[in-house]
Amino acid sequence: MDISGIKRTLLDREVPDRLTWWHTLGSAALTAFVIQIVTGLVLATFYAPAPDHAYESVRYIERVVTSGTLLRAMHRWGASLMVVLVLAHMIRVFSMGAYKYPREVNWLFGVGLFFLVLGFGFTGSLLPWDQKAYWATQVGTSIAGTAPLVGGVIAKLLKGGSQLGAATLTRFYAFHVLWLPVMFALLILLHLVLVVRQGIAPRTSVLERDAPKKTSNEKYPGYYTTAYAASKKAGVRFWPDIIGKDVITSMVVVIAVLLLAVTVGAPLEAPADPTDASYVPRPEWYFLPFYQLLKLFPGSMESTVAVGVPLLLVIALLGLPFFDRGSRRNLLHRPGSLVGLSVLLGGSALLIGAAVRDVQPTIAPETGQPLSSAERAGRALFQRQCQGCHLVMSSGGNEGPALTEIGAHHTTAWLHSFVENPARFHPGSKMAAFGPPVLSHQEIEELSRYLAILRGAPGREVKPEMHDTFPDLDNNGGVAPDAKATEASKPKARNSNGK
Ligand code: HEC
């Protein structure tokens, strides 16, 4: 084997001078990946991918295995850091126009790697099989399941059946430790081979002076070759001139992961309980913008957004180097790209902010207790749609009756049925019907759950005294004096899962 040849291509290669610290983000991401491999190998040695044993095996790793707690925490933080670094690397490449000629294909490899990293995060987060793991995956797979046509197939492919269970865990484990690593290794190899062959993208100014306007111009390749060669004239070599910076960044990454693992650690919640639907799931932070975005749309549009937004993102990322043929590279010289990037980053930051605020338990003043996520959603809907007419405690209009104590008199099922179509109960009711298409059934259910916990101002709750009536029992509207709610009077209600 020609060792010196390899050394010449890998280490002695000339690189453009004055590369920035931003240029080290790629190696930083690679370092995080190496941390994931090393810690992952140890974790996999002790982990048991079956619902009955997964949680216990993680506890075993934490309690018995030497440095097990530390390794698990490092793996967890390494994952987050890897997402950050890959994103930062992509933003760097985008901002310097380094995806343009001749690196279009390598950009595609990079995009592929980014999605594989997200895949690692998604599959890995199920493995501890605690409450968070189970319910976040439940949400994730059901979002995938809402896709038109292919949704059912995708959900089934992910879960390995109709339920999230043993088959899902086996599958996610296989994805996490076999499929994804193999694909990742292949892509990263191609990615690095191209980096070595095409060289590192130089500072943007080098490739903007006297450049043809379009990279598709037939003169562009010739121009590029000359300009790129000129940028290397200074005789700067990868070794030892550049590698120093990479080593420093890599060390910072290792130290950061260690520090986070030691100081913050990795949480392990109670074992997964598939029957506990009251658990409020919260996905990993890097899925939060998407998760929060879905919440902004009414239920009827969820599947469109759930599929449309990721699809658009994939198309935009893959199409970028082929549609954007302008030869300007500096982000500041590309107003369209600058706006696009700002909107994407700003929007994501806002969504993450909103999500973080949302998951804090809200103690509503009118109930004096933390709300479940459905009740919280119902409360927000109420403020938008109903408060103009209805008073709760001291705020709201008075066109309709005050609802401060409504939960003491009606069940969730009755409320659902009433809000859907008040005329059903009070013919000629002045309140409009809110059933579909105005609100979806899910939204009405959320509203009803919220109303059902309104039992009077905190500290002055009234005694429950139910007045549920249903049209077939009491046709002339109003509350019949003896129509106390009984279970038998409920069957007409839809979605009757009141508390
Ligand atoms: C245009 C004003 C208006 C709006 C908006 C409105 N309501 Fe009403 N609502 C009324 C009126 C008037 C009544 C009383 C007439 C009746 O009972 O049919 C009423 C009655 C009710 C009742 C029955 C109260 C009881 O004690 O029997 C409930 C529950 C209710 N509204 C819930 C809602 C919800 C939830 C919303 C929002 C989706 C809403 N309302 C929006 C005007 C409104």
Report pLDDT digits (tens) over 226-267: 988 888 766 677 877 778 889 999 999 999 999 999 999 998
At residue 14, φ and ψ (nearest 5 deg) are -80, 140
Out of 390, 414, 449, give the residue to mutate to test ligand 1, the one with the largest number of ligand atoms within 8 Å of its CB. 390
Nearest protein Cα to ligand 1, atom 39: 386
Instruction: Give the distance (Å) from ligand 1 centre to CA of residue 498.
Output: 19
Whether 429 is in the pocket of ligand 1, judged by its Cβ within 6 Å, is: yes
Cβ of 435 below 6 Å from ligand 1: no
DSSP code string of 435-448: TTTTS-HHHHHHHH
The rounded radius of gyration (Å) of the Cα atoms in the chain is 29
pLDDT band, very low/low/confident/very high, at 478 (cuts 50, 70, 90): very low
- Cis amide prior to 298 (ω within 30 degrees): no
Atom 37 of ligand 1 has which residue's CA nearest to it? 386
Model pLDDT, residue 32: 98
| pLDDT, tens only, 313-357 | 999 999 999 999 999 999 999 999 999 999 999 999 999 988 887
298 — pLDDT class (breaks 50, 70, 90):
confident
Mean pLDDT is lowest, of 56-60, 254-258, 490-494, for 490-494
Domains, the chain, ranges and CATH?
A: 3-359 (1.20.810.10), 373-489 (2.60.40.420)
Atom of ligand 1 nearest to the CA of 429: 18
Top pLDDT among 376 and 52 is at: 52
> What does the pLDDT average to over 406-425?
93
Higher pLDDT, 271 or 368: 271
Average pLDDT taken over every residue of the chain:
87
Helix 151-159 with 166-174: angle, nearest 10 deg: 90
Pocket test for ligand 1, best of 379, 409, 431 (most atoms within 8 A of CB): 431
The answer, yes or no, to whether residue 479 has pLDDT greater than 60, is: no
pLDDT value of residue 472: 59
For residue 183, what pLDDT is reported? Answer: 98
CA distances to 115, 183, 454, 482 from 489, in Å: 52, 58, 22, 12
454 CB under 6 A from ligand 1? no
Q: Is 117 near ligand 1, meaning CB less than 6 Å away?
A: no
Tokens of 296: 């902004």
Say yes or no: CB of residue 434 within 6 Å of ligand 1. yes
pLDDT band at 486 (very low <50, low <70, confident <90, very high): very low
Contact 286, 86 (CB under 8 A): no
Average pLDDT over residues 164-172: 95
C-alpha span between 62 and 333 (Å, rounded): 52
Predicted confidence at residue 8, as pLDDT, reads: 74
Instruction: Judge whether residue 494 has pLDDT over 70.
Output: no
Q: What is the pLDDT of residues 67-114, one digit of tens each?
A: 999 999 999 999 999 999 999 999 999 999 999 999 999 999 999 999
pTM above 0.85, yes or no: no
How far apart CA 8 and CA 30 sit, in angstroms, is: 22
Average pLDDT over residues 420-430: 90
Percent over 90 (pLDDT), the chain: 56
| Res. 488: pLDDT tops 60 | no
- pLDDT, tens only, 35-51: 999 999 999 999 999 99
* Residue bearing the bigger pLDDT, 373 or 256: 256
408 lines ligand 1 (CB under 6 A): no
Does residue 422 line the site of ligand 1, with CB under 6 A? Answer: yes
DSSP 8-state symbol, 430: S
Residue 276 in tokens:
């506990």
Please name which of 422, 8, 406 lies closest in space to residue 237, comparing C-alpha atoms.
8
Distance 204 CA to ligand 1 centre (A): 63
Q: Which two tokens stand for residue 400?
A: 């309709």
293 CA distance to ligand 1 centroid (A)?
30
Share of the chain above pLDDT 70, in %: 92
Residue 119 confidence (pLDDT): 96
Dihedral (C-alpha) 458, 461, 466, 469: value to the nearest 10 degrees?
-40
